[in-house]
Homo-oligomer: A and B are copies of this chain.
Amino acid sequence: MLPEIRELIATKNKRVIRNVAQYFEPADIAEVWAELTLRERLTFFNALDTKFTTDIFEFLKDDQKIELLNKLSAQRKKAILNEMSPDDRTDLFSILPNEEVEKLIPLLEENEQVRARELLSYKGTTAGGLMTTDYVSAPENIKIAQVLRELRSRAKEIDFIQNIYIVDRINRLMGVIPLKNLLTASPLKKVDKVMNTYIPSVNLDMDQEEVAKIFAKYDEPSLPVLDKLGRMKGVITVDDVIDVIKEEATEDIHHFGAAGVTDEYLAANPFAIAQKRVVWLIILALAGFISGSVLEHYSFLLSSIVTISFFIPILMNTSGSAGTQAATVVVRGLATGEIKLGDVWRVVRKEFLIGILMGIIAGIITALRAIILQGDVMLGFTVATAMVLAIVIATSLGGILPIFFKKLGVDPALMSGPLIATILDTTTLLIYFNVTMFLLWRF
């Protein structure tokens, strides 16, 4: 698509650009934006009308938006800011420095200024920070025909309308009429005879993760946002929720990989990334000293039976992997809500059994190695016994520790794979050396 847009811009004919550009989707134009030169971007933008430029603008990346804001004429900037949907505008303001925002807000129409300041006052990761104030509401006591009239006058300025929200005198939400029902209802009926009165909604200060769960539960493309008194404050549309779901999954995955949370990896400074990761690496290294000390404590065993040291990596590795497997499934289950705090004993029972099954298989394989390569049956038996015990402990702890974190109010994903593996290094060594003393040392 880039060559077509390039060619179009090269005509430098505003009318041609405007006419042809409407055959492109704003999201597609935004996708190739980075490939255009600044000059091309400005020529293109200045040829289009406000509605279309705003549609493209809303799809651009943060740095591209800021660049354009600095280069556009004051008049154009004003037009775009007024055309933007309130939630996207709030997102833009929240990445700009305060003094810049204070210069931009006065460019808005008067009633938009109040709304902009209100939206900015909500935390970005709550329902208030996600919602838009662009929605259609109507009082309880009017007729359908009047609602239709109101709707026609406002339809142009609102991107997506699914419901008409019916409110009382102090703006409390009383019911909703889906747009399609409005079409089939008799125009002479009162709205309160047509509206649905049971309406899923989210609270203004609800965390975005909770909001995403409510959207997933009710399968609605948009939901109203209410304050503590039940008053209508805005609407959240599902496209913003998709971003939240992806962000939350990324956060969980990064936590579980003990990698801190890195946004925009490719653009980020390596020093900044290293700083986030090294915190975890130091914690893990310090925790790793414990297993080093265990090794030191049992060094008399190592020096008298050198062969047992060959099995240390495989034991630590296998139990670490088994623990990571269990933690992975439980951390994700807690995130999606499939596993609840009360399920802790079901999880433990299940992981205990899984540990025994996997331990026996891994134990047999390791024993065979000891018997074949070292020719030592007793060593094989020792290693296999240690393997079964180590893996049972691994899967059980891997299942239990994330739930324990959640109980403490800590993000369970912070009980990461590497952290589990580090904890299990110590337990595995303790098990191995004690099994060795019991089975091998005494002979």
Contact = CB atoms under 8 A, between A and B. Distances in A.
A418 interface: yes
Interface stretch (A36-44, A103-111, A361-369): A361-369
A350 B265 CA distance: 9
Contacts of A330: 265
A200 interface: yes
A295 interface: yes
Interface residues of A, number: 119
A156 B179 contact: no
State the majority secondary structure of interface residues on A.
helix
A274 interface: yes
Interface string A239-269: 1011101100110111011110010111000
Interface stretch (A17-25, A116-124, A165-173): A17-25
A336 B270 contact: no
Given A256-B328, A318-B288, A217 B27 contact: yes
Given A274-B358, A310-B292, A317 B285 contact: yes
Given A270-B354, A312-B312, A328 B425 contact: no
Contact of A238 (B181, B239, B262, B311): B239
A155 interface: yes
A79 B418 CA distance: 53
A256 B215 CA distance: 27
A254 to B, nearest CB: 6
A438 interface: no
Contact of A285 (B273, B318, B339, B350): B318
A317 B336 contact: no
Contact of A278 (B152, B358, B421): B358
A220 B238 CA distance: 9
**Oligomeric state, in number of copies?**
2
A412 B332 CA distance: 19
Given A27-B219, A218-B25, A266 B338 contact: yes
A164 to B, nearest CB: 11
A292 B313 contact: yes
Given A277-B325, A281-B321, A303-B303, 15 more contacts: A148-B183, A152-B183, A221-B239, A238-B238, A253-B328, A258-B328, A259-B324, A259-B326, A262-B329, A265-B339, A274-B354, A288-B317, A288-B318, A302-B302, A321-B421
A324 B350 CA distance: 27
Contacts of A219: 27, 59, 239
Contact of A270 (B277, B316, B353): B353
Contacts of A245: 242, 245-246, 249
Contacts of A306: 299, 302-303
Contact of A313 (B23, B316, B321): B316
Interface in A385-412: none
A198 interface: yes
A397 B23 CA distance: 44
A418 B256 CA distance: 12
A322 interface: yes
A204 interface: no
A216 interface: yes
A197 interface: yes
A280 B258 CA distance: 21
A237 B336 CA distance: 21
Contacts of A338: 264-266
